[in-house]
A and B are shown apart, each in its own frame.
Chain A
Amino acid sequence: SQQGEEDPQALSIQEGENATMNCSYKTSINNLQWYRQNSGRGLVHLILIRSNEREKHSGRLRVTLDTSKKSSSLLITASRAADTASYFCATLEVDRGSTLGRLYFGRGTQLTVWP
């Protein structure tokens, strides 16, 4: 099965700094999604980037996708203490000749933002 791998596993920064997380994957994808998980809660969708897109923005979030390197990055600008959470990338694998797809998650990056 394909699974994205986030890097680093843990990231600790001060409020106001930028946080960058990376995700690498193994095979061709239809899209890549980033999710956030606060401690003890379910995941919340942040942003989706399709395989034919290179960059996408949403508020303080910027996602890039490099399909030649099979990697993506999530940048959170001007981070806040409330951004403290785990961040996961998820890659959509679509069966050839099928309309069925499976979403595979990485192990996540734990981001801690200190006030």
Chain B
Amino acid sequence: NAGVTQTPKFQVLKTGQSMTLQCAQDMNHEYMSWYRQDPGMGLRLIHYSVGAGITDQGEVPNGYNVSRSTTEDFPLRLLSAAPSQTSVYFCASSYSNLPSYEQYFGPGTRLTVT
């Protein structure tokens, strides 16, 4: 199994541009989530999904959009990039619709917005 994969690994955007961060898992996990990690802030939950067609907001959802059309994929869309969205983004998945099980993390996408 490839586990959780994320693309791209690095991205530089100009303010106002939009883009989609890709996340895919091949473990048939129902629960998927997106976090951002900023220095000194730990990880903060952006959006999560408990199954195909079901998503909900986390702590910091503003400026981000998600959809879950398949079990495998959970893309994160930045609608109009801002410098405050400069961060490292992690996608994670787990077996259950409750994150009672261990979360499997992708390698991260480092995003810089200028």
Contacts and interface: CB of A to CB of B under 8 A. Distances in A.
Interface residues of B, number: 28
Given A100-B50, A102-B45, A43 B98 contact: no
A3 to B, nearest CB: 7
Interface string A71-115: 000000000000000001010101000011111111110000000
A3 B44 CA distance: 9
Interface string A24-43: 00000011010100001111
Given A43-B105, A44-B105, A105-B35, A88 B42 contact: yes
B74 interface: no
A102 B90 CA distance: 15
Interface of A is mostly: strand
Given A3-B42, A42-B105, A92 B90 contact: no
A53 B42 CA distance: 26
Contacts of B102: 33, 45, 48
Q: Which 9 A-B pairs have the closest CB atoms?
A: A45-B102, A42-B105, A107-B42, A105-B43, A43-B105, A103-B99, A101-B98, A105-B42, A1-B59
Interface of A: 1, 3, 30-31, 33, 35, 40-45, 48, 88, 90, 92, 94, 99-108
